[in-house]
A and B are shown apart, each in its own frame.
Chain A
Amino acid sequence: MMTLSSPHPTSQTQAPGLPRRAGLGLKNEHFTEVLKTLPDVGFFEVHAENYMVAGGPFHHYLGLIREQYPLSLHGVGLSIGGEGPLNREHLARLAMLIERYQPHSFSEHLAWSSHGPVFLNDLLPLAYDHEILNRVCEHIDQVQTALKRPMLLENPSTYLQFHSSTLDETVFISEVIRRTGCGLLLDVNNVYVSCINHQRDPMGYIDALPLHAVGEIHLAGFAEDTDSLGDRLLIDDHGAPIDNAVWHLYQQVLERTGPVATLIERDNQVPAFSVLHAEARQADRHLMAVDS
């Protein structure tokens, strides 16, 4: 049963203290450079699963960096959209990390990644209907109860759609947010990727979301492929600089939301820290422009 059924005020969904600035994904190859130079970055974000290790350098450096910067904890393995129950052991590990590092935000994906005993290591798509909506809401209630805080839910990038879907993705997400009181992690790259792949208008998609609940924005690069008709098929690979079309969309989002904590994501072909920092500064310029 869902324990939360009424709309929640935005104050609960805005992570406490996550600054309305640009942040960067923290890569282990940049640990020592970050500590040595203490770059002017609004916050760092880490993948929770990378830090589910007993000890060693990852905890050493994250502890030191956490003393200097606000932190966003981003999960990639909870499988909130899974048909089966949530992995309680994994939820307990997340609770421990949150206790240890007191992050300013915790976020996860509208996707599934585990099936039975198997972890598939990808963010897989959901059909959108009322039964699945109920299940996702129950899972998010369970997460928020276990972690004793509201979470942010990230909109997915998808390559396919389901004939059985009866709800639009934006309606589904809006309803999850309304019922559970979770916030929205608006991944603008995912919006662009999905909308190109499904022939939708990206701004129409964004305007159909509850933008008051946006607690964080993600920006990333994509790879480009073609499908069987030779049409553009964009792949969310976090392996390239942010595309101009995504920067443009980001600017339009900020005009609607005002400044929101914005993460530059890069997980593959990670360049020098200075390259990522330049993208963060570019996002900061957008943020300052809408703040004035």
Chain B
Amino acid sequence: MSRQDEFANALMALDAPCPVGLFSSNGADPASRFTVYRNNVHSSLINALATGYPVTLQLVGDAFFRAMAGLYVQAFPPGSPLINEYGNDFADFIQGFAPAASVPYLADVARLERLRVKAYHAADALSLDQQAVITALQQQSTLGELRLQLHPCVATLDSAYAVVGLWAAHQTGESLATLNPLHAQSALVLRNGLEVKVFAVDSGSVAFINSLNNDWSMEMALAYALDAAAEFDLHQCLALLIGHGAITHLHTEQKVST
């Protein structure tokens, strides 16, 4: 084992002994100083997760969150120097983390928070002018010929819990007393200009947006949306997307090249 192998292994394993070959010039036990490095590694990564998942943290409290995040850090240390991306799968870990089972919506709130971070840093793209989109839509005899391309920031989440309500209540300091967390909710996350926004939408809208993101035509997207929710309101969903600059391209191709 190389020196850095040994050092790195001892950093990650909290109960590992201090690596050999180290000393302090004042004669102090090197373990008491090695601890500084180990604390730096673990606390900086736990802090990165706390920064990225503020509502998840508030839902379980600081001590619980840090203990849970600490176990995640040990099991899944970062694989890249891009700490912005660290913890992309933290929600999956939370989902399987038995002590958090009493907060069944915790993983979905974490998923929503990660979508917000991703939307914040998503690629830039020019949105189509709102009026131009409306005019183009009005000029089409059938919507089926149209294809819409959405901004790279646009993402959705289907949840069995009131994920948007739970998240929103923590932004305003609103009481959770009146909120039924077991009310299923879907979320639309996007960045409008420089601001990330979260909307509660129906499952039809999620199916519609995901179909557009999978490069389906409007006609097919509408069919999937109606299949997901018979009450899907195309006009309302398009108004939301147009109003928040979520449409970047609009084609009227008959044939689709895939």
Q: Do residues A118 and B8 form an inter-chain contact, with CB atoms below 8 A?
A: yes
Q: Do residues B37 and A55 form an inter-chain contact, with CB atoms below 8 A?
A: no
User: Taking the complex as formed, is A52 at the interface, i.e. its CB lies under 8 A from any CB of chain B?
Assistant: yes
User: Taking the complex as formed, is A124 at the interface, i.e. its CB lies under 8 A from any CB of chain B?
Assistant: yes
Q: Do residues B30 and A160 form an inter-chain contact, with CB atoms below 8 A?
A: yes
User: Taking the complex as formed, is A117 at the interface, i.e. its CB lies under 8 A from any CB of chain B?
Assistant: yes
Q: Do residues B77 and A120 form an inter-chain contact, with CB atoms below 8 A?
A: yes
Please give the distance in Å from A101's CB to the nearest CB on chain B.
15
C-alpha spacing A161/B84, complex, angstroms:
32
* Contact-residue bracket for chain A: 35 or more
Q: Which residues of B contact A198 (CB under 8 A)?
A: 24-25
Q: Which residues of A contact B36 (CB under 8 A)?
A: 159, 225, 233, 235
User: Taking the complex as formed, is B123 at the interface, i.e. its CB lies under 8 A from any CB of chain A?
Assistant: yes
Interface core residue of A56, A59, A200 (most chain B CB under 10 Å) = A56
Please give the distance in Å from B3's CB to the nearest CB on chain A.
7
C-alpha spacing A56/B116, complex, angstroms:
12
Chain B contacts with A in 140-160, Cβ cutoff 8 A: 152-153
Please give the distance in Å from B77's CB to the nearest CB on chain A.
5
User: With A121-B44, A121-B78, A124-B37 in contact, is A227–B84 under 8 Å at CB?
Assistant: no
Mask: chain A, 106-125; 1 = CB below 8 Å from B; 0 = not: 00000011111111111011
Q: Which residues of B contact A163 (CB under 8 A)?
A: 21-23
Please give the distance in Å from B25's CB to the nearest CB on chain A.
5
Give the A-B pair count, Cβ closer than 8 A: 142
Interface core residue of B77, B81, B120 (most chain A CB under 10 Å) = B81
* Contact-residue bracket for chain B: 35 or more
The interface residues of chain A, by DSSP majority, are classed as loop
Q: Do residues B41 and A121 form an inter-chain contact, with CB atoms below 8 A?
A: yes
C-alpha spacing A62/B108, complex, angstroms:
32
Q: Do residues A56 and B23 form an inter-chain contact, with CB atoms below 8 A?
A: no
Nearest neighbor of B47 in chain A, beta-carbon distance: A268
User: Taking the complex as formed, is A76 at the interface, i.e. its CB lies under 8 A from any CB of chain B?
Assistant: yes
Q: Do residues B79 and A119 form an inter-chain contact, with CB atoms below 8 A?
A: yes
User: With A117-B79, A121-B45, A235-B36 in contact, is A228–B121 under 8 Å at CB?
Assistant: no
Nearest neighbor of B22 in chain A, beta-carbon distance: A160
Q: Do residues B121 and A54 form an inter-chain contact, with CB atoms below 8 A?
A: yes
Mask: chain A, 25-61; 1 = CB below 8 Å from B; 0 = not: 0000000000000000000000001101111111110
Please give the distance in Å from A128's CB to the nearest CB on chain B.
12
Q: Which residues of B contact A113 (CB under 8 A)?
A: 81
Q: Which residues of B contact A197 (CB under 8 A)?
A: 24, 33
Q: Which residues of B contact A114 (CB under 8 A)?
A: 81
User: Taking the complex as formed, is A68 at the interface, i.e. its CB lies under 8 A from any CB of chain B?
Assistant: no
User: Taking the complex as formed, is A140 at the interface, i.e. its CB lies under 8 A from any CB of chain B?
Assistant: no
Please give the distance in Å from A126's CB to the nearest CB on chain B.
9
Q: Which residues of B contact A57 (CB under 8 A)?
A: 120, 194
C-alpha spacing A50/B33, complex, angstroms:
29
Q: Which residues of A contact B191 (CB under 8 A)?
A: 56
Q: Which residues of A contact B24 (CB under 8 A)?
A: 160-161, 197-198, 227
User: Taking the complex as formed, is B168 at the interface, i.e. its CB lies under 8 A from any CB of chain A?
Assistant: no
Q: Do residues B81 and A77 form an inter-chain contact, with CB atoms below 8 A?
A: yes
Q: Which residues of A contact B7 (CB under 8 A)?
A: 115, 124
User: Taking the complex as formed, is A166 at the interface, i.e. its CB lies under 8 A from any CB of chain B?
Assistant: no
Q: Which residues of B contact A56 (CB under 8 A)?
A: 119-122, 124, 153, 191, 194
User: Taking the complex as formed, is B32 at the interface, i.e. its CB lies under 8 A from any CB of chain A?
Assistant: yes
Q: Do residues B4 and A82 form an inter-chain contact, with CB atoms below 8 A?
A: yes
Q: Which residues of B contact A121 (CB under 8 A)?
A: 41, 44-45, 48, 78, 81, 83
Chain B contacts with A in 157-181, Cβ cutoff 8 A: none
Q: Which of B23, B32, B78, B81 touches A228 (beta carbons < 8 Å)?
A: B32
Q: Do residues A227 and B33 form an inter-chain contact, with CB atoms below 8 A?
A: yes
Q: Which residues of A contact B77 (CB under 8 A)?
A: 118-120
Q: Which of A76, A82, A160, A229 touches B27 (beta carbons < 8 Å)?
A: A229
Interface core residue of A77, A117, A118 (most chain B CB under 10 Å) = A118
Interface core residue of B30, B31, B119 (most chain A CB under 10 Å) = B30
Q: Which of B22, B44, B79, B122 touches A54 (beta carbons < 8 Å)?
A: B122
Question: 7 other contacts beyond A60-B124, A160-B30, with CB at 8 A cut-off?
Answer: A115-B7, A120-B12, A121-B41, A161-B24, A162-B22, A162-B23, A227-B28
- Across the A-B interface, the 7 shortest Cβ-Cβ residue pairs: A77-B81, A55-B124, A53-B121, A228-B32, A115-B8, A54-B123, A228-B29
Interface residues of B (CB under 8 A from A): 2-5, 7-8, 11-12, 21-34, 36-37, 40-41, 44-45, 48, 77-84, 119-125, 152-153, 191, 194
Interface residues of A (CB under 8 A from B): 49-50, 52-60, 76-79, 82-83, 87, 90, 112-122, 124-125, 127, 159-164, 197-200, 225, 227-229, 231, 233, 235
